Amino acid sequence: MNELLLSAARTHGLARPYILSSEELTSMPQQHGVPTQGIRGEIEIEGQTVAISLVLRFSAPCCLPIIFVQPWDKFGVIPHVDTDGYVCFAQNEGLIIDPNRFEEVVSTSLGRAIAQLRAGARRENSRDFIDEFLPYWNRQKEILKCQCFVEPSNEPKLIQVFVQGAKYTYVCDHEADVRAYLSGSETIHLTQRNALYVPLPIGTVIEPPHPDAGWSPMEATTVVSRCFDSRTAKKVSMLCHKLTKSEELVVARLPRTDGSGGALFGLKYEGVGKTHPLAGGPTPTALTPVSLSRCDRALLLPRGGANVDLHNKRVLVAGCGSVGGFLSVELARAGIGHLTLVDYDSLEEVNVFRHVLGRKHLNKKGTKAELLSKHISDNIPYMDVTPIPDRIEQAIKTGKADLSTVDLIVVALGDPTTELYLNRLAGDAPAKFPPLVFVWVEAYGIGWHVQVSNNAHEGGGCLECLYTNMPGDQSGLHCRASFAEAGQEFGRNFSGCSGLFIPYGSTIAMHAALLAIKSATDVLTGRELGNPQLSVKGSSSAFTEMGFTLTERYLKNTDVDLYEHRYDYVSPACAVCGDRP
């Protein structure tokens, strides 16, 4: 292996290469991985001689070698070189390395690192600072940290900063943004002050400050204000009239090279005179850099995989049990911004193994709807969650649940009687009702089902169709989608009538919830224009071991068959959506 390293060093012209001793390896920076062996040699770049170390980590040859340059700032602050000399020559994610051609891997790495240094020394890659500015900014010592909700607009503006002693907590356009982020779960009791937001023009190149020295107040002011065009300067000057404290925060935006997004960084001036430094006032006495952690919804939602288009949608979830619990949390994560959760039931010990709310919620006051609302607000930003601790029928009847403001209802009651009632209400006044997504699981996890109603732009179909017998069938109320044969009793009883439950596991509830979320989001985004009935088969072994009987529908169909026939359940004789005389 050492020979391999020396060979790479020779190939790339490292002078006087030698194998690093174990003491030398131990004294190297460890945070990029513990070095196990390595070489060091010298190279001249742009007339300056630097030492290059190439070390292998424990997991070599399944990872790239690490390359350090010493001294790190021999060429000034240049892109892709960290203060410990670490040279970033490749992305660490999204790579596949061929361990069988490790010699090539090492040689290529060294070649790229040297090329990176050379480009830095020649100031050829200074633009890389723009797209990668924040890591360089944030490595400054004594930096303040603050959550940022400021929309990175193209105009200078006044913004708000929440101060807690010497610390900044939030910086935002409006207090409401912070409240929305907190989903109403925390109360803000902080001092609020004006601050300045300044966008720098596209194409601005700023060399980040030296991490040890930082910028002086004068340097900072110069760096930022020299980028202003006259219009911006004028606007900034006007805004600065309102900024008269001795301590002032400036949030600057450095756009990416393509003009999108960009890096936001903060400058905290102290000892500000009567006129703001950016309006030509005297140089403040001190400057502290501020690291801004962006929490605005335009960045957070897509970054977390949520759908921004869904964020203004309003979904009512009827039933906050096992399925409804997972479903509500995941609807929020999918990007739905407004949830109304309806359930009158309370969380009990017997629920914890299959409910998203675990043991710690057991002794809390409130219904499942209330506890779940709190759980979502506490954990997921930008949520507007309203609990209605009532039965869904009652909530609709009394107007507590205002359906006119709801885009979709997910029904996870596991109670066909109430579900059919809701379906009929929608059938009676289709225009007043949003689309409905019914979801349920079957005993012992033999399957899970979703039924979309009141969404069809063409073709009918509703939950009632599933309970409409075909001619010659006299099975009555039995659901046609069911995998369990009619006339069997599945409720298990541990403590008298009140302890009756239908056995199925948490994963089944999750599967059902996911299927319902897919349907709900498809309906809300217009990808689903019909009223499909989706069924997925689970394992039947526990069910049949208990001596229960499966339907032909379960036995004869694969999941693919079931999916292909998802619109074929529609019954012309349906009392709700069928052909009416």
Partner 1 sequence: MADIQKQFEEFNDVVRLKQYEHNANLREKRDVILKKLKERLKVLFEERDDDLPKYTHFDQGSYKLGTGVKPLTGDFDIDVGLLFEVDRDEYRDPVVVKQWVYDALDGHTKKVEMRRPCVTVFYQNGEEPLYHVDLAVYSAADSNFDNKICVGKGKQGSPPENCIWEEADPDGLITVLTGKYSGDDWEQFRRCLRYLKRWKDLKFPTAGNAAPVGIGLTIAAYNWFYPKQKIVDNYAGQTRTDDLGALLDFANAMLCNFNLVFRDGEYAERIEAKLPVVPYGDVFEKMSNQYMTKFKEKLQKLVAVMEEAMKEADPVEACKKLQKVFGDDFPVPERDDTGAKRGPAIITSSHSA
Q: How many Å is the maximal CA-CA distance in the chain?
A: 97
Q: Choose one: 210-218, 224-232, 315-323, 358-366; the region binding partner 1 (CB under 8 A).
A: 315-323
Q: Report the DSSP pairing between strands 191-199 and 157-164.
A: antiparallel
- Residue 291 vs 469, nearer CB to partner 1: 469
Judged by CB under 8 A, the residue of 47, 305, 476, 526 near partner 1 is 476
- Residue 305 vs 487, nearer CB to partner 1: 487
Judged by CB under 8 A, the residue of 189, 274, 556, 580 near partner 1 is 556
Q: Choose one: 78-86, 365-373, 498-506, 518-526; the region binding partner 1 (CB under 8 A).
A: 498-506
Q: Should residue 545 be labelled a site residue for partner 1 when binding is judged by CB under 8 A?
A: no
Question: Cβ of residue 316: shortest distance to partner 1, in angstroms?
Answer: 15
Question: Cβ of residue 352: shortest distance to partner 1, in angstroms?
Answer: 16
What CA–CA distance (Å, rounded) separates 278 from 235? 11
Closest CA to 248 of 263, 268, 262: 268
| Contact positions with partner 1 (CB under 8 A) in 322-351 | 322-324
What DSSP element (H or E) covers 294? strand 286-294
- Sign of the C-alpha dihedral, residues 266, 271, 276, 282? negative
Question: Cβ of residue 477: shortest distance to partner 1, in angstroms?
Answer: 5
What CA–CA distance (Å, rounded) separates 418 from 412? 10
Q: Should residue 319 be labelled a site residue for partner 1 when binding is judged by CB under 8 A?
A: yes
> Taking a C-beta distance cutoff of 8 angstroms, is the pair 533, 480 a contact?
no
> CA-CA distances (angstroms) from residue 331 to 6, 46, 376, 385, 408?
56, 57, 10, 11, 12
Task: With H, G, I as helix, E, B as strand and everything else as coil, classify residue 524.
Answer: helix
Task: With H, G, I as helix, E, B as strand and everything else as coil, classify residue 77.
Answer: coil
Q: Choose one: 14-22, 94-102, 234-242, 466-474; the region binding partner 1 (CB under 8 A).
A: 466-474
- Residue 296 vs 442, nearer CB to partner 1: 442
Residue type, 453: S
Per-residue contact string for residues 39-58; x = within reach of partner 1 by CB under 8 A? --------------------
Q: Should residue 440 be labelled a site residue for partner 1 when binding is judged by CB under 8 A?
A: yes
Q: Should residue 274 be labelled a site residue for partner 1 when binding is judged by CB under 8 A?
A: no
- Sign of the C-alpha dihedral, residues 430, 435, 441, 446? positive
Q: Report the DSSP pairing between strands 144-148 and 157-164.
A: unpaired
Judged by CB under 8 A, the residue of 128, 442, 464, 528 near partner 1 is 442
Q: Choose one: 36-44, 291-299, 318-326, 355-363; the region binding partner 1 (CB under 8 A).
A: 318-326
Q: Choose one: 17-25, 132-140, 144-152, 500-508; the region binding partner 1 (CB under 8 A).
A: 500-508
Closest CA to 252 of 363, 341, 140, 133: 133
Closest CA to 300 of 91, 148, 518, 137: 148
Judged by CB under 8 A, the residue of 473, 499, 525, 559 near partner 1 is 473
Judged by CB under 8 A, the residue of 2, 285, 488, 541 near partner 1 is 488
- Sign of the C-alpha dihedral, residues 293, 295, 298, 302? positive
Q: Should residue 565 be labelled a site residue for partner 1 when binding is judged by CB under 8 A?
A: yes
Q: Should residue 297 be labelled a site residue for partner 1 when binding is judged by CB under 8 A?
A: no
Closest CA to 525 of 204, 257, 309, 218: 309
| Contact positions with partner 1 (CB under 8 A) in 376-435 | 412-416
Question: Cβ of residue 490: shortest distance to partner 1, in angstroms?
Answer: 5
> CA-CA distances (angstroms) from residue 91 to 68, 110, 269, 305?
16, 14, 35, 21
Q: Should residue 552 be labelled a site residue for partner 1 when binding is judged by CB under 8 A?
A: yes
Per-residue contact string for residues 77-116; x = within reach of partner 1 by CB under 8 A? ----------------------------------------
What CA–CA distance (Å, rounded) separates 232 from 153? 13
Tokens 């509500």, located at residue:
328
- Residue 23 vs 568, nearer CB to partner 1: 568
Q: Should residue 502 be labelled a site residue for partner 1 when binding is judged by CB under 8 A?
A: yes
Cβ partners under 8 Å of residue 194, min gap 6: 158, 159, 160, 161, 242, 243
Judged by CB under 8 A, the residue of 100, 187, 260, 474 near partner 1 is 474
What CA–CA distance (Å, rounded) separates 320 from 335? 19
Q: Should residue 37 be labelled a site residue for partner 1 when binding is judged by CB under 8 A?
A: no
Neighbour tally for 15: CB within 10 Å: 13
What DSSP element (H or E) covers 542? helix 541-545
Question: How far from the centroid of its chain's Cα atoms is residue 159's Cα?
Answer: 25
Question: Cβ of residue 509: shortest distance to partner 1, in angstroms?
Answer: 8
Q: Should residue 568 be labelled a site residue for partner 1 when binding is judged by CB under 8 A?
A: yes
In the 8-state DSSP scheme, what is residue 256?
-
What CA–CA distance (Å, rounded) separates 327 from 180? 21
Judged by CB under 8 A, the residue of 142, 229, 458, 489 near partner 1 is 489
Question: Cβ of residue 338: shortest distance to partner 1, in angstroms?
Answer: 22
- Residue 471 vs 581, nearer CB to partner 1: 471
Q: Choose one: 243-251, 261-269, 420-428, 442-450; the region binding partner 1 (CB under 8 A).
A: 442-450
Question: Cβ of residue 301: shortest distance to partner 1, in angstroms?
Answer: 28
Question: Cβ of residue 391: shortest distance to partner 1, in angstroms?
Answer: 14
**How many residues form the binding site for partner 1 (CB under 8 A)?**
53
- Residue 280 vs 491, nearer CB to partner 1: 491
Q: Should residue 481 be labelled a site residue for partner 1 when binding is judged by CB under 8 A?
A: yes
Question: Cβ of residue 146: shortest distance to partner 1, in angstroms?
Answer: 43
Q: Should residue 460 be labelled a site residue for partner 1 when binding is judged by CB under 8 A?
A: no
| DSSP code string of 90-156 | S-SSS----GGGHHHHHHHHHHHHHHHHHHHHTT-STTHHHHTHHHHHHTSTT-EEEEE-----SS-
- Residue 212 vs 561, nearer CB to partner 1: 561
Which residues sit at the interface with partner 1, rule CB under 8 A?
319, 321-324, 412-416, 439-443, 446, 469-484, 486-491, 501-502, 504, 509, 512, 551-557, 565, 568-569
